[in-house]
A and B are shown apart, each in its own frame.
Chain A
Amino acid sequence: MKINQIFSIFSSLAACTIIMLYSCKPKSPATVSTGDAASKVYVAPGQYDEFYNFISGGFNGQMSVVGLPSGRGFKILPVFSVHPENGYGYTEESKPMLMTSHGFVPWDDLHHIALSTTRGEHDGRWAFGNANNTPRVARVDLGTFKTVEILEIPNSGGNHSSPFITENTEYFVASSRFSVPIGEDNQRDVPINTYKENFKGTVSFIKVAPEGDMSIAFQLVTPGVNFDLARAGKGPSHGWFFFSCYNTEQAYSLLEVNASQRDKDFIMAVNWKKAEELIAQGKGKKVKARYAHNKHDEHTHMATSTILEEVLQLDPKELEGIVYFIPCPKSPHGCDVDPSGEYIVGSGKLAAMIPVFSFTKLMQAIQNKDFEGEYDGLPVVRYESALHGVVEKPGLGPLHTEFDGRGNAYTSFFVSSEIVKWDIKTLQVLDRVPTYYSVGHLMIPGGPTAKPHGKYVVGYNKITKDRYLPTGPELCHTAQLYDISGDKMKLLLDFPTIGEPHYAEAIPAALLKDKSVKFYKIEENKHPYAVKSEKDSRVERKGNQIHVYMTSIRSHFGPDNIEGVRVGDEVYFHVTNLEQDWDVPHGFAIKGANTAELLIMPGETQTLKWVPNRVGVFPFYCTDFCSALHQEMQGYLRVSPANSNIPLKFTLDK
Chain B
Amino acid sequence: MQKIPVLSRLLLGIAALSLIILYFVPFWQILMWAPQYPEWLTMRFWLNDITGDVDIINGLNHYIGMKHIQKEMFKEFVYMPYIVAFLIVTGVFVAFWGRRSGAWIYLIIIVLTGVAGMVDYYLWGYDYGHNLDPSAAIKVPGMAYQPPLIGTKELLNFIAYSGPDIGGWIVVAAGILVVLSILIDIKSAFLRARFPSLIRVL
Name A's B-contacting residues (CB within 8 A).
Answer: 553-554, 579-581, 627-629, 632
Contacts and interface: CB of A to CB of B under 8 A. Distances in A.
B56 A580 contact: yes
- The interface centre, meaning the residue of A554, A581, A629 with most chain B CB atoms within 10 A of its CB, is A581
A629 B59 CA distance: 13
Contact of A628 (B55, B56, B59, B63): B63
Nearest first, the 8 A-B pairs at minimum CB distance are A581-B56, A629-B137, A580-B55, A554-B59, A629-B63, A628-B63, A581-B59, A579-B59
The size class of the interface chain B forms with chain A is under 10
* SS class, residues of chain B in contact with chain A: helix
Nearest to A578: B59
Given A581-B56, A627-B63, 13 more contacts: A553-B59, A554-B59, A579-B59, A580-B55, A580-B56, A581-B53, A581-B55, A581-B59, A628-B63, A628-B138, A629-B63, A629-B137, A632-B137
Nearest to B138: A628
A517 to B, nearest CB: 16
Contacts of B55: 580-581
Interface in B118-168: 137-138
A554 B63 CA distance: 9
Nearest to A632: B137
A627 B55 CA distance: 16
B93 to A, nearest CB: 46
B152 to A, nearest CB: 23
Contacts of B63: 627-629
Contacts of A629: 63, 137
Contacts of B138: 628
A586 to B, nearest CB: 13
A240 to B, nearest CB: 48
13 contacts: A553-B59, A554-B59, A579-B59, A580-B55, A580-B56, A581-B53, A581-B55, A581-B56, A581-B59, A627-B63, A628-B63, A628-B138, A632-B137
A581 B59 CA distance: 10
A630 to B, nearest CB: 12
* SS class, residues of chain A in contact with chain B: loop
A629 B64 CA distance: 12
Nearest to B59: A554
A580 B57 CA distance: 11
B13 to A, nearest CB: 44
Interface in B36-61: 53, 55-56, 59
A629 B136 CA distance: 12
Contacts of A580: 55-56
Contacts of B56: 580-581
A632 B138 CA distance: 13
Contacts of A579: 59
A270 B137 CA distance: 68
A554 B137 CA distance: 12
A99 to B, nearest CB: 38
A552 to B, nearest CB: 12
Contacts of A627: 63
Interface in B82-139: 137-138
A629 B138 CA distance: 9
A208 to B, nearest CB: 35
A553 B138 CA distance: 17
A553 B62 CA distance: 12
A632 B63 CA distance: 13
Contacts of A581: 53, 55-56, 59
Nearest to B36: A583
Contacts of A554: 59
Nearest to A627: B63
A624 to B, nearest CB: 15
A553 B56 CA distance: 11
Contacts of B59: 553-554, 579, 581
- The interface centre, meaning the residue of B53, B56, B59, B138 with most chain A CB atoms within 10 A of its CB, is B59
A579 B63 CA distance: 15
Contacts of B53: 581
B145 to A, nearest CB: 16
B58 to A, nearest CB: 11
A528 B55 CA distance: 25
A628 B95 CA distance: 58
A472 B6 CA distance: 91
Nearest to A653: B135
Contacts of B137: 629, 632
Nearest to B41: A581
A553 B60 CA distance: 11
B70 to A, nearest CB: 14
Contacts of A628: 63, 138
A133 B55 CA distance: 47
A334 to B, nearest CB: 44
B131 to A, nearest CB: 21
B33 to A, nearest CB: 15
A581 B52 CA distance: 12
A318 B162 CA distance: 78
A553 B55 CA distance: 12
A553 B137 CA distance: 15
A500 B59 CA distance: 43
Nearest to B135: A653
B134 to A, nearest CB: 15
Nearest to B56: A581
B12 to A, nearest CB: 46
A579 B56 CA distance: 8
B121 to A, nearest CB: 26
Contacts of A553: 59
A632 B137 CA distance: 11
B168 to A, nearest CB: 27
A580 B53 CA distance: 10
A629 B60 CA distance: 11
Nearest to A629: B137
Nearest to A580: B55
A579 B59 CA distance: 9
A37 B165 CA distance: 48
A579 B58 CA distance: 11
A629 B55 CA distance: 19
A627 B59 CA distance: 11
Contacts of A632: 137
A259 to B, nearest CB: 58
A581 B63 CA distance: 16
